[in-house]
Amino acid sequence: MAQITLDNLAHSYLPDPKSSDDYALKELNHVWEDGAAYALLGSSGCGKSTLLNIISGLLRPSQGRILFEGQDVTDAPTAERNIAQVFQFPVVYDTMTVRDNLAFPLRNRGRPESYVAERVAEIAAMIGMEHMLDRKARGLTADAKQKISLGRGMVRKDVNALLFDEPLTVIDPHMKWELRTQLKKLHHDFGHTMIYVTHDQTEALTFANKVVVMYDGRVVQIGTPEELFERPEHTFVGYFIGSPGMNLLPAEVAGSEARIPGGTVPLAANYGSPRGRLQLGIRPEHLRLSATEGLPVTIRRIEDVGRHRILRADLAGHDLNIIAPEDQPVAEGANRVVVDPARIGIYADDWRVTAA
Amino acid sequence: MDKPVNHKAWFLVLPVLVLVAFSAVIPLMTVVNYSVQDTFGNNVFFWNGLGWFQDLLASERMWNALVRQLIFSGVIIAIEIPLGIFVALNMPKRGVWASVVLVLMSLPLLIPWNVVGTIWQIFGRVDIGLLGYGLDALGIDYNYTQNPIHAWITVVVMDVWHWTSLVALLAYAGLQSIPDAYYQAAKIDQASRWKVFRFIELPKMAGVLMIAVLLRFMDSFMIYTEPFVLTGGGPGNATTFLSIDLVKMALGQFDLGPAAAFSLMYFLVILLISWVFYTVMTNLDKRGG
């Protein structure tokens, strides 16, 4: 177990990167606290896997350093870093039995057979494969294979960190939930530093104490699930987290007032006159329909998703999503929307502006 | 559900039947016909039953050729398969060099058999050949035309030179199909180089290697042109393999009956060994699946 520090790290797959567009991973300084469970969230191709492979030593960064407990390991091979990593697609050793697969990382480190047997039994129970330990791994279903991969990742107790690269993609939803619970329990019991890469926000928000959101090779926000929801630092976070994501409307800001399509809304604080391309962000949860006050909207569609309803509306030519509570009927003639000023975020060139 | 019955469909397979009949069945039946008859010339044949087959089974000449053939196929497979894998493992995986190496590797495969024989025949000559002259200059008394061991070594080396590329290319294709994640996982699991080979590369290559063994077996079992050009089956009968012996019998001595019986036995041996291969291969698949 270790604290992992990324110091001025960046990576490009090109031999001679020139502009910042050439970098798959843009300059990054970050400390992964010892024993915390992180989720690394972002859309495909944003540099998540690159970052993971750099941490595990499969990839050498083009610039910067990686430190484990303050010790520079940038040039240390994977074996020395003692890291476990689980990949997106199942990797099993076909010709070995399930048991030998699980024992492989331990045997490679020369652990005594009695210890190996004990650990394999524990892990097999955890992934629910005790009954097929003596089967050949070849010919198993994809999710059984992925469970073996997960098991191989977890079989070592003394790893510095456990890295998961979208490990549950190929697993069916029910098992997904169960395995995620197991991973949380594992984290709780052993306190490994865990980094869990995913593009599924539910997975990220339920797994981690801290979520790191990446966008276009950059870390845009690190925070608890609540922080990401309440105060997205970047429009991508607002849009990516939440279902549906944050509404973003072009805005002109003057002091504590914002002019958006369809009218003017008051702001909770004085923003002065920020520069750049301005947007007003408001979560669908923080909009309220009204018959008497607010901005005029046209409701196009109502989707009932069970615990609440999503109203797809049109505000002066812009799409607007509103979440209405399930127990409250949409009043007839309710064709105005009220914006909660305290929940508004103002974004200049996609980054959140703090009130003056 | 009733299946529609339409006998016109037979017309569609007719061309294939005709082709196969003329290219395989009729010639084969002619051979069968010769194998059970004898003649004293003038195109007058009479029934000989299984006589030729009995003669053949009692013939030391045939058994010697068969043993030579089996040793030859065994030796070249035992050399070419591991060597081909070794070469494939060391070939560059991507980039310009990968293409260059691929082209170089396929060159020997493009050379006609008799040219390969001629190349080695001259290469090995003590008077003008680079190899023969060089070995002689080093004080090694090398002469493939007179020393059976030297002839054998030369024939084997020639075959290895000609065909290892094929094994290497097949193994290379097998290696290229392994996703990077396997190597990455092996690094994470701290697998040694040997274990990576044993548990990742070899299992993934198993399918193509089986095909490589089968191809090399069948091809080497039928080998004719190269040793014929190089040694002509000599010195003595040292490199007289089955097909060389067969051609001597059929065309040299014009013993059509014994030669026909010989061909049929030859055919049955190939069929038998191929069947064994096939069974082993499908069993391997089943055991895994």
Q: Mind listing the pLDDT tens digit for each residue in A15-44?
A: 877 777 788 888 888 888 888 888 888 887
Burial class (CB in 10 A: 0-12, 13-18, 19+), A307: exposed
With beta carbons under 8 A apart, name residues in chain B contacting A97. Answer: none
Per-residue confidence band for B71, with pLDDT thresholds at 50, 70 and 90: very high
Q: What is the pTM of this model?
A: 0.77
Residues A162-184, mean pLDDT to the nearest whole number: 82
pLDDT single digits (tens) B131-144: 888 888 888 888 88
Of residues A57, A66, A64, A118, the one with CA closest to residue A84: A57
Which of A103-117, A309-323, B273-287 is predicted least confidently? Answer: B273-287
Question: What's the pLDDT score for residue B86?
Answer: 95
CA A211, distance to chain mean position in Å, is: 6
pLDDT cut 90: percent of chain A above it: 4
Which of residues B64 and B3 earns the better pLDDT score? B64
pLDDT at A1: 61
pLDDT tier, B289 (very low <50, low <70, confident <90, very high otherwise): very low
Alpha-helical regions (H) of chain A: 48-56, 78-81, 98-108, 113-127, 142-154, 173-190, 201-207, 225-230, 235-240
The whole-angstrom separation of Cα B147 and Cα B128 is 18
Residue A329 pLDDT exceeds 80:
no
Query: What is the structure's pLDDT at B58?
Result: 86
B43-55 pLDDT, tens digit per residue, is: 778 888 788 888 8
Mark residue A282 as left, alpha or beta (left: phi above 0; alpha: psi -120 to 50; beta: remaining): beta
B289–A93 C-beta distance less than 8 A: no
- Contact: A149, B185; criterion CB under 8 Å: yes
Beta strands in A224-355 (DSSP E): 247-250, 252-254, 257-260, 263-266, 278-282, 287-290, 295-296, 298-304, 308-315, 318-325, 336-339, 345-348, 351-352
Q: Hey, what long-range contacts does A259-266 have (CB within 8 A, 24 or more apart)?
A: A260/A295, A260/A315, A261/A315, A261/A316, A261/A317, A261/A318, A262/A295, A262/A296, A262/A297, A262/A315, A262/A316, A262/A318, A263/A295, A263/A296, A265/A295, A265/A339, A265/A341, A265/A344, A266/A341
Most confident of A12-16, B6-10, B214-218: B214-218
User: In chain A, what residues touch B190 (CB-CB under 8 Å)?
Assistant: 78-79, 105, 108-109
A86 → chain B, closest CA residue: B185
- Of the residues A108, A109, A145, A197, the best mutation for testing chain B's interface (the one with the most B CB atoms within 10 Å of its CB) is A108
Instruction: Give B284's contacts in chain A (Cβ within 8 Å).
Output: none
- Predicted ipTM beyond 0.85: no
B158-213 pLDDT per residue, tens: 999 999 999 999 999 999 989 888 998 898 888 889 999 989 999 888 888 988 99
**Three-class secondary structure of residue A19 per DSSP:** coil
